[in-house]
Structure 1
Amino acid sequence: MSSTSLIKNAVTALYQYYGIPLLVFGCVGNVLNLLIFIRSQLKKNPCSTYFFYSSIANLNVIFLGLLSRILSDGFGIDPSSYNLGYCRFRYFILHSSMVLSSWFTILASVDRYCVSSKSARRRQLSSLKTSRFLVCSTTVIVLILYSHVWGLFTIEQLKTGPSCYAEAGFYRVFYDFFYFATFSFTPPVMMTIVGLGTFYNVHQSHTRVNPTDTNARKVDQLKKRDRQLIKMLLVQVTFTISLTLPLAIQKLYSTFTQNFVKSTYQQAVETLVTQVVRLLAFTNNSISFYL
């Protein structure tokens, strides 16, 4: 068996033996997240609003991204390669949801930064009204930004068979950079900046005097819940950056080398790398409950 065939078999095995368990754990974890964040103790917390809608976006990614890849690369079943309507619908919802999931995490990070601040004015920015407005406005903006997918994605005939993606030429280069900017680059950078600011605020809060009266203890209990959400968020931000950054690097490499002449073996290796970093990105949408 040739090296190229071995690599193709490795891609198939990757989705069958890693993708399927990831699909199951991702579905269960995100559904449990939804149940947790609608509890009365948490549903009034603005940060929970962002986590709740992030979990919905994650489920979209799991079903339209991970499940579709398992069927196409693991079992050779790909409706998006012959149905143009489904091709455009899938990428519109998939990429919009991946972007929304990351940006909801950014908004949660900003919310925790405000809550952890010593400034009363900044703490007032954290409210249910603000979180609901930002969720709605962010969703509308992202859907509008990705609306061009409906008209400019197509089914292209490749040597390996039909494939659904952005039209070849200028639009494909534009789309890869656009996707890179909105998902793979800007969110990790912003998460890092806001996360460091939140970490600094939490560190500074440790110097505050412990409460002694009953009312102060109640306030402190609320702050403890906020601190738990902050810790959970910082862990999630770390994993998000680690799991999505490889996709950013791969996207840039693919865009800059798309016109290079490559051997069959090199193409197979690049396909394997692409599938690995893609699975890492799907992992990010599947593990938040288990962190």
Structure 2
Amino acid sequence: MSSSSVSYFINLSHVVTIYFGLTILVAGVVGGLLNLTVFLSLRTFRQNSCAFYLTIMSFANIIHLMTGLTSHIVINGYGIDWGGYSIVYCKVRLYLIQLSILMSFTSICLAIIDQFLATCHNPFYHRWSNIKLARYILIGFLLFWLLHGIPFALYFNVVISLININQLTCAVTNVTFQKYFNFGFVLVLIGILPLTIMTLFALLAYTNVQTLGYRTIPLVRRELDKQLTHMVLVQAIYSFCILLQYVITTVVLYYVSPTDRTNFISVLSVTIHNCYFAGPFYIYMCVSKRFRQQFKHVLYHNHFCKQIRRKIINNQTLPQISDT
């Protein structure tokens, strides 16, 4: 490969990471915060198990965007690896990245499973869709993923870069854990497994919701189930496309010799993968008219109007009468 081609792919990696990555970062953090605003402001969502899972997913997405995507932009866009300067930052960053990714995927998978249970014909399954159980389940998964992250904190260390011997970088220093990281974590836990679960239960939930209108269910509950099912089903399709390209790229690049071209493909794939964490709010706004109305209600009535009333009250002054 000519030096001009090498320079082209290196520069292209920088441009894609900086401009595409920064756009995803800003849009994702803003969208995540708006998601939290809606889900935490409305009692309907606060008491619903599926919405609870989506709330936790939004928290996890923001954390990942602020840690994983930010470091991806700095390293691949600007060529600065902060992990090479501090072993504490190296370990904490990877620990938070794995925790936030796994909690996000866990939450969306549980949300889709929850909607499958909530829309089942058999009332027996409905009891498994409740907010109390959802909290216990997520606490259990949180504890499990916290323990799962311990090897990340142990085996990621500051080492000399294989690309540039004059540069330090944050990398795995244990051969066995490196194999688990490549196949168990990257390929299975954040690739094939959530892809399979989301696809399977999304299809089952879609089948259930087709007959939802023919069952004797309170109107409010029926409309909420339809709304949430529609939201998570479209998100499942969106996630399927993103995760599928990530899995295919990861498998193919593993058997290909590393070059600047393959490095660009890897950088682009990871950047696209981060779209998963940035997209939920915009998906909900596009596919759900009711969510758009709820968003306007929360933003205008719950926040804007309250601020206006508070300012009016603060600006009101009572006449002072003094005795002379």
Length-normalised TM-score, structure 1: 0.90
Q: 1:200: which partner in 2?
A: 207
Q: 1:167: which partner in 2?
A: 173
- Listed one character per residue, the Cα deviations across residues 23-72 of structure 1 (whole Å, up to 9, x for unaligned) are 11001000001111112221111111101110111011101111112122
Instruction: Please give the alpha-carbon distance, in whole angstroms, between the structure 2 residues aligned to 1:58 and 1:274.
Output: 21
Instruction: Please give the alpha-carbon distance, in whole angstroms, between the structure 2 residues aligned to 1:200 and 1:69.
Output: 39
Q: Mean alpha-carbon deviation: is it higher for 19-28 or for 153-162?
A: 153-162
- Listed one character per residue, the Cα deviations across residues 164-195 of structure 1 (whole Å, up to 9, x for unaligned) are 22226332112211112211111110111111
Matches within 5 A, 1:244-259: 244-256=243-255
Q: Given residue 37 of structure 2, which amino acid in structure 1 is its aligned partner?
A: L
Q: 2:194: which partner in 1?
A: 187
Aligned residues: 276
Where 1:159 maps in the other structure, the secondary structure is coil
- Listed one character per residue, the Cα deviations across residues 55-109 of structure 1 (whole Å, up to 9, x for unaligned) are 1110111011111121222222321122122111111110221111011101001
Q: Is the 8 A contact 1:176 1:255 kept in 2?
A: no
Where 2:211 maps in the other structure, the secondary structure is helix
Q: CA deviation at 1:230?
A: 0.3
Which structure is larger by alpha-carbon Rg, 1 or 2?
Answer: 2
Where 1:118 maps in the other structure, the secondary structure is coil
Q: 2:242: which partner in 1?
A: 243
Q: Is the 8 A contact 1:173 1:255 kept in 2?
A: no
Matches within 5 A, 1:1-291: 2-38=4-40, 39-156=42-159, 157-160=161-164, 161-167=167-173, 169-179=175-185, 180-206=187-213, 208=214, 219-256=218-255, 262=257, 267-291=259-283
Q: Given residue 159 of structure 1, which amino acid in structure 2 is its aligned partner?
A: I
Q: Given residue 25 of structure 2, which amino acid in structure 1 is its aligned partner?
A: L
Q: Is the 8 A contact 1:177 1:252 kept in 2?
A: no
Instruction: Summarize the Cα distance change of 1:241–1:67 in structure 2 as closer, same or farther, 3 Å threshold.
Output: same
Q: Given residue 7 of structure 2, which amino acid in structure 1 is its aligned partner?
A: S
Instruction: Please give the alpha-carbon distance, in whole angstroms, between the structure 1 residues aligned to 2:229 and 2:77.
Output: 38
Where 1:124 maps in the other structure, the secondary structure is helix
Please provide the CA RMSD for this pair: 1.7
Instruction: Please give the alpha-carbon distance, in whole angstroms, between the structure 2 residues aligned to 1:125 and 1:235.
Output: 23
Instruction: Please give the alpha-carbon distance, in whole angstroms, between the structure 2 residues aligned to 1:175 and 1:254.
Output: 15
Q: Is the 8 A contact 1:84 1:155 kept in 2?
A: yes
Q: Is the 8 A contact 1:244 1:280 kept in 2?
A: no
Q: CA deviation at 1:256?
A: 4.5
- Listed one character per residue, the Cα deviations across residues 121-163 of structure 1 (whole Å, up to 9, x for unaligned) are 1011111101111111111111212211111112332124433
Instruction: Please give the alpha-carbon distance, in whole angstroms, between the structure 1 residues aligned to 2:110 and 2:209.
Output: 18
Instruction: Summarize the Cα distance change of 1:129–1:141 in structure 2 as closer, same or farther, 3 Å threshold.
Output: same
Q: CA deviation at 1:255?
A: 4.2
Where 2:210 maps in the other structure, the secondary structure is helix
Q: Is the 8 A contact 2:212 2:222 kept in 1?
A: no
Percent of aligned pairs with the same residue? 23
Higher relative contact order (CA 8 A, sep 6+): 1
Instruction: Please give the alpha-carbon distance, in whole angstroms, between the structure 2 residues aligned to 1:229 and 1:58.
Output: 19
Where 2:222 maps in the other structure, the secondary structure is helix
Q: Is the 8 A contact 2:76 2:267 kept in 1?
A: no
Structure 2's unaligned 5+ residue stretches are: 284-324
